[in-house]
Copies of this chain bind each other. A is one copy, B any other.
Amino acid sequence: MTSLQHVSCKVKGIRVSAQTKLQSLAAHVTQDIKMGAEKPFQEVIDVSAGDPHRAGIKPLSFVRQVLAVCLYPQLLGDSNLPEDVRQRALRMLDACDGGSLGSYTASSGMLYCKQSISEFITRRDGVPSNPSDVFIPAGSERALMIILKLLSNDGDGRPPTGVLTPLPCPHTLPVLLDEAQVTLVPFHLSEERGWAVDLDELHRALKAARGHCEPRAIYISNPGNPTGHVQDRQSIEEVIQFAASERLLLLVDEVYQDCVYGHGNKFISYKKTLLEMNREFLDTVELFSFHSLAGAYTAECGLRAGYIEAFNMDPKLKYYLDNMLCGDLTTPVTGQLALDLMLNPPTAGDASYDTHIQETVSIRATLCRNAQQGHELLNDLPGMSCQPAAGGIYLYPRLDLPSGFTKQAQILEIGADVLYCQRFLEEEGVCVGAGQDSGAAGNHHLRLCFFVSSETFDVVLARLSSFHLHIMSESKLFGT
């Protein structure tokens, strides 16, 4: 009967990630528990993707206090709230049309927030940033989607647009590329070098792609999602030189810029690096950098906002970018304002300063501790090896599974990593991500988000150890 019986082939063509299936399974298991099913666990812990507040990380008080006052301005008179909270809320309300968060904003974002983002970038990089190069979509995925759609050759009668994409890549990226009708051109990161970018591999990938598609951009995530790699200046320069010589647009996901750990590791932005390089690159490289409320200590995934800073963008293109954003009407205003609070936190002398520092130091300590603890424990397990996370919020261990287990997966016609995740979820109530979604071919990995409370992470690691040892010994029975 249905008039929707012919669902668009483009919609049907979007791959369904293992993540989507695992999430459904997790929901199913949770439902079972609610219905009274007996399980060796009381609830499902999901560390397959970053969702820190769900996993016990507390929101930053300053952010929440200011937003509460903005929503209900009568709280401006509440002397229990710190003075700087009320001052900031007052400034924000002044920046909202009609003094209300319920008004629409410019589709590319509130000028107040763009200015605040620009000031942050200027401080961070020591080089000027212009608010008119800043765009505020509803999160970094939405930001990337809009740029991809601008780039897409779909319907142009030309070969499809290609985007050079690291493998492993963020698990959400292949689906985004599908939806934008853009071809994923894979280049492999070097696992043995801690998931570093390899210049020869970039050239190989580009050469292999030509003829099949029209490579027009390169995507990089730094710090790496899910690899935890942090690029040094030399590596960034190499990528920039490559992009310049091959006329590729640079799409740089820098959402984990706050999350860098360990000695000698430091986040350096692509923009700063570019501006300090030889002048020729300055004029030839087009760069889009992404950041988000969800990736930083704020961890406000549910408020939905991120920013794009464009560098060297053709002014004519701004017109189309603006137009694309018009379709979204307005990025959620609570999210836009939270970006300002994230990037311009209280400073020394402000009433909120001490609390804010305490809270962020504590989050940072949790991240460092979890990254370290997880890395050590996973590396100690037989049949598992794990590169350290120098940054980001994921550990991405490699599985060396007994052939009995991989044969079983073959019979079931699913990836061995997916089977591993399904069983771990069903038997131990922990949802971890399958490397398959990140496009790793030939070998198997897991994705564990460690942006969770220490207590939660300890439970995850304990259950993973026990499950893994069980799998290793059980599979031996089937004969390796």
Contacting residues, chain B, for A447 (C-beta < 8 A): none
> Does A249 interact with chain B (Cβ within 8 Å)?
yes
Which residues of chain A from 387 to 432 have any CB-CB distance to chain B below 8 Å in the complex?
A: none
Q: How many residues of A contact B (CB 8 A)?
A: 94
Residue in contact with A247 in the complex, picked from B3, B7, B96, CB distance below 8 Å: B3
> Does A348 interact with chain B (Cβ within 8 Å)?
no
With known contacts A10-B154, A138-B304, A327–B4 Cβ distance under 8 A: no
CB of A11 within 8 A of CB of B53, answer no
Contacting residues, chain B, for A71 (C-beta < 8 A): 64, 67-68, 71, 334
Contacting residues, chain B, for A100 (C-beta < 8 A): 53-54, 59, 302
> Does A478 interact with chain B (Cβ within 8 Å)?
no
Contacting residues, chain B, for A300 (C-beta < 8 A): 101-102
CB of B145 within 8 A of CB of A11, answer no
Contacting residues, chain B, for A72 (C-beta < 8 A): 61, 64-65, 67-68
> Does A51 interact with chain B (Cβ within 8 Å)?
yes
Report A130-171 CB contacts with B as 1/0, cut-off 8 Å: 000000001101100100011111111010000000000000
CB of B302 within 8 A of CB of A152, answer no
> Does A199 interact with chain B (Cβ within 8 Å)?
no
Q: What distance in Å separates the Cβ of A237 from its nearest Cβ neighbour in chain B?
A: 19
Report A309-328 CB contacts with B as 1/0, cut-off 8 Å: 00011100100100110111
CB of B299 within 8 A of CB of A102, answer yes
> Does A278 interact with chain B (Cβ within 8 Å)?
no
Q: What distance in Å separates the Cβ of A147 from its nearest Cβ neighbour in chain B?
A: 9
Q: What distance in Å separates the Cβ of A241 from its nearest Cβ neighbour in chain B?
A: 15
> Does A179 interact with chain B (Cβ within 8 Å)?
yes
> Does A1 interact with chain B (Cβ within 8 Å)?
yes
> What 6 pairs between A and B have smallest CB-CB spacing?
A302-B333, A53-B100, A68-B72, A54-B98, A54-B97, A332-B332
> Does A263 interact with chain B (Cβ within 8 Å)?
no
Which of A12-20, A112-120, A351-359 is found at the contact surface with chain B?
A12-20
CB of B1 within 8 A of CB of A138, answer no
> Does A234 interact with chain B (Cβ within 8 Å)?
no
Contacting residues, chain B, for A103 (C-beta < 8 A): 51, 53-54, 301-302
Which residues of chain A from 331 to 362 have any CB-CB distance to chain B below 8 Å in the complex?
A: 331-335
Q: What distance in Å separates the Cβ of A209 from its nearest Cβ neighbour in chain B?
A: 15
Residue in contact with A8 in the complex, picked from B7, B10, B150, CB distance below 8 Å: B150
Question: Which chain B residue has the least Cβ–Cβ distance from A288?
Answer: B4
Q: Give the CA-CA distance A335 to B305 in the complex, in Å.
A: 13
Q: Give the CA-CA distance A8 to B216 in the complex, in Å.
A: 12
30 A–B pairs (Cβ distance < 8 Å), ordered by A:
A2-B317, A3-B217, A6-B216, A8-B150, A8-B153, A8-B154, A10-B152, A10-B154, A10-B155, A20-B326, A52-B102, A54-B98, A54-B103, A61-B72, A68-B68, A68-B71, A96-B302, A100-B302, A101-B302, A102-B298, A102-B301, A102-B303, A103-B302, A104-B302, A138-B328, A141-B328, A155-B181, A303-B332, A304-B332, A334-B334
CB of A151 within 8 A of CB of B8, answer yes
Contacting residues, chain B, for A379 (C-beta < 8 A): none
Q: Give the CA-CA distance A393 to B348 in the complex, in Å.
A: 49
Contacting residues, chain B, for A20 (C-beta < 8 A): 323, 326
> Does A56 interact with chain B (Cβ within 8 Å)?
yes
Most buried by B among A27, A149, A320, A332: A332
Q: Give the CA-CA distance A75 to B65 in the complex, in Å.
A: 10
Question: Which chain B residue has the least Cβ–Cβ distance from A175?
Answer: B327
With known contacts A20-B323, A141-B329, A152-B10, A317–B4 Cβ distance under 8 A: yes
CB of A332 within 8 A of CB of B329, answer no
CB of B102 within 8 A of CB of A53, answer yes
CB of B302 within 8 A of CB of A153, answer no
Contacting residues, chain B, for A68 (C-beta < 8 A): 68-69, 71-72, 75
> Does A464 interact with chain B (Cβ within 8 Å)?
no
Contacting residues, chain B, for A313 (C-beta < 8 A): 2, 4
Q: Give the CA-CA distance A326 to B249 in the complex, in Å.
A: 27
> Does A55 interact with chain B (Cβ within 8 Å)?
yes
> Does A9 interact with chain B (Cβ within 8 Å)?
yes
Q: In the complex, given contacts A2-B312, A101-B303, what are 7 additional A-B residue pairs having Cβ atoms less than 8 angstroms apart?
A: A2-B314, A4-B314, A12-B320, A53-B97, A64-B72, A103-B301, A142-B328
